[in-house]
Structure 1
Amino acid sequence: MTNIAILGEVMLEFSSTSERNYVLGISGDTYNTACTLAGLNISVTYITSLGEGQPAAIIRQDAQQRNVQILEPNSAFNKSAGLYIVYNDKDGERSFNYWRDDSAAKALFNNQDLLLPLLNQVKNHDYLYFSGITLALINTSNASIFIRFLEHYRQLGGKVIFDPNYRPSLWLNQAAATQAIKGILPHVDIYLPGYEEEEILFACTSSKDIFERLLAIDISETVIKNGSRNCSIIYNHCLTTVSITPSKNVIDTTGAGDTFNGGYIGARLAGLTPYDAVNFAAKAASQILLIKGGGLSTPHLSKLNKHLQIIQQQQSN
């Protein structure tokens, strides 16, 4: 079975149902992707620290139910998981308030003595996935150590997948984010940015601009997400645009990009072409738009996995 290691932070999510009422969920950008992949029968190891207390226990139970293996340091931090509140406007667009500055995950990513042994445990995994949110939690000195690990990991045959998932509040400033992401991209095999991120961080004004920029870096595979409009694929040094059918009756856009990433990676690992993988990923993302919260439920993922299996069977005939 293909296996993938994912680095990131799992958080408690409070999603508003009315002005003063909230539903408790378990979320986080890379965790949503991890759950999607596990639901598609990919073996997932998730590197993080959840800390201590009831929040950590709730998250560990959720991960176990979703077949996501949590890999944590043996030394427990006297800290807890981060949390956030998500609000939605009438169109389902979201805004957030975060409490994560003193989270156990951030403490882990800033402690090389605890992080490196965990990374070494997954150096033989087929794929390694992380996001710009993960990168923002790593301090400058540890970032260089992390890059050296990526170099070694790729020399061993591993493939690196990265979504910049730019969140301005996590960075000192935009220039710091651009510099950090520029430093990572030469070590990436599959790149999953949003069009808006490329525009903000790298002053690209078209898919062609992005195409020319990434050709110079020579990333093997890129999917540029452009909301409900389209996706652009850069593969084998060619640029292809795939139209997306917009979802109707959107309730919550939280986790759409995360679910898309999980759907795309899962479909590619199942043998689909980039073009077919984008269509499958768009279908996965359309499902998350119709529910509250950042992750698909197990029944949703079971149906999605059956759909993927049907596509595989059709292509093998």
Structure 2
Amino acid sequence: MTNPRVLCLGEILYDLLADQIGRSLNEVESWTPYPGGAPANVACALVKLGTPSGFVGCVGSDEPGEALVQLLQEVGVDMRGVQRHATAPTRQVYVVRSQTGDREFAGFGEIDTTEFADTRLQATELPELLFENADFLVLGTLELAYPQSCGAIARAIQLADRHHVKILLDVNWRPTFWPDTSLAKPAIYDLLKHVDFLKLSKEEAELLFGTADAGAIAYRLDTIEGVTITDGDKGCAYCLGQNEGHVPAFSVNVADTTGAGDGFVAGFVHQLCQGGIKTLSDPEAAKRVVSYASAVGALTAMKPGAIASQPTAAEVEAFLSQHGG
């Protein structure tokens, strides 16, 4: 088995996408389940692009959990970091969609957000062997909301530091997941002390830093190696090394934005695995990395579902050729 170069730690779940677009939670008549969860999405997207990845998280000992594990195994994701909880269910989240394809997380049905299996990830059961051979650890912030999974993140950071694994954080702000949203900012700020690369949406940048200036945020964090700030159809601002710039968004027909940001993260990390972090010191190379990541995100948004819509490396290259990337 090829050891994963990238470890993606966090939630794996089913997105229940509303079949009726433009309706509120109570107005939706039917839902279609799609496999998701940002870290799981990134892990799958990386494999499809050609970078070996592993997923670290916890699922329930139930049919949805088994189906998700099977799917990621079929894609080719290393699942040695998966834990199973005997009683807590695998998470499902209801997602409503606007007429333009934008989505909003609308809740978890009758189950409290603290009761799902992903919140039970155990720090003591993280396999150190996976960290010994990895180049990157990709984290989100949702699992900071729960004591056990927050402890697992702290342990993963320790292992990453021990084995010189770079850490990328995709903030992926979802207030629905937090039992107490007042705890979110302090927890995220503490996590930022350990991060090498930071991916934010424009809204997240303004929420956490009061600005969407990538250079200003990189300067404020001091030790960070790169910041990217995505803004949907308005493109992506970045500060990578000493290079700042902006890449316009690709014009595509959007079917569903679920997983587009995760596709961006996967494209970004894939490029760093291909060319090495030192390439970011070249202004043109830095811009190409962001353009490639943006293309992966754009292609992912053109079909429904976060994993099923992810492109291969050949599809990304063809897309970039057609769009002058």
Deviation string 1:204-239 (CA, Å, 9 cap, x unpaired) is 25445424323xx32012212122212222122332
- Aligned length in residues: 299
Distance across 2 between alignment mates of 1:143 and 1:50: 16
- Does the aligned pair in 2 maintain the 1:267–1:308 contact within 8 Å? no
Structure 1 ranges of 4+ moved more than 6 A: none
SS in 1 for 2:65: helix
Q: Structure 2 residue aligned with 1:294, among 306, 310, 313?
A: 306
- Does the aligned pair in 2 maintain the 1:166–1:197 contact within 8 Å? yes
SS in 2 for 1:192: strand
Q: Flag structure 1 segments of 5+ consecutive residues without an equivalent.
A: 109-113, 311-317
The two structures have a TM-score, normalised by structure 2, of 0.82
Alignment-derived partner of residue 111 in structure 1 = none
Confirm whether residue 238 of structure 1 aligns to residue 243 of structure 2.
yes
Alignment-derived partner of residue 259 in structure 2 = 255
Superposition map of 1:43-192 within 5 A: 43-72=52-81, 76-99=85-108, 100-108=113-121, 114-124=122-132, 125-136=134-145, 138-139=146-147, 143=150, 146-147=153-154, 149-192=156-199
Deviation string 1:249-295 (CA, Å, 9 cap, x unpaired) is 32211111111111111122111733111111111111122211222
Distance across 1 between alignment mates of 2:240 and 2:246: 11
Alignment-derived partner of residue 221 in structure 1 = 226
Q: Which segment is superposed worse, 289-298 or 6-15?
A: 289-298
Alignment-derived partner of residue 3 in structure 1 = 5
| Paired AA for residue 135 in structure 1 | L
Distance across 2 between alignment mates of 1:205 and 1:302: 30
Gap change, CA 1:74 and 1:65, over 3 Å in 2: closer
Distance across 1 between alignment mates of 2:214 and 2:271: 23
Percent identity between the two aligned chains:
23
Distance across 1 between alignment mates of 2:228 and 2:213: 14
- Does the aligned pair in 1 maintain the 2:217–2:227 contact within 8 Å? no
Distance across 2 between alignment mates of 1:120 and 1:21: 42
Q: What displacement does 1:142 show?
A: 6.7
- Does the aligned pair in 1 maintain the 2:215–2:239 contact within 8 Å? no
Q: What displacement does 1:85 show?
A: 2.1
Gap change, CA 1:151 and 1:106, over 3 Å in 2: closer
SS in 2 for 1:254: coil
Alpha-carbon RMSD across the aligned residues, in angstroms, is: 2.7
Gap change, CA 1:107 and 1:307, over 3 Å in 2: same
- Does the aligned pair in 2 maintain the 1:268–1:274 contact within 8 Å? no
Gap change, CA 1:41 and 1:119, over 3 Å in 2: same
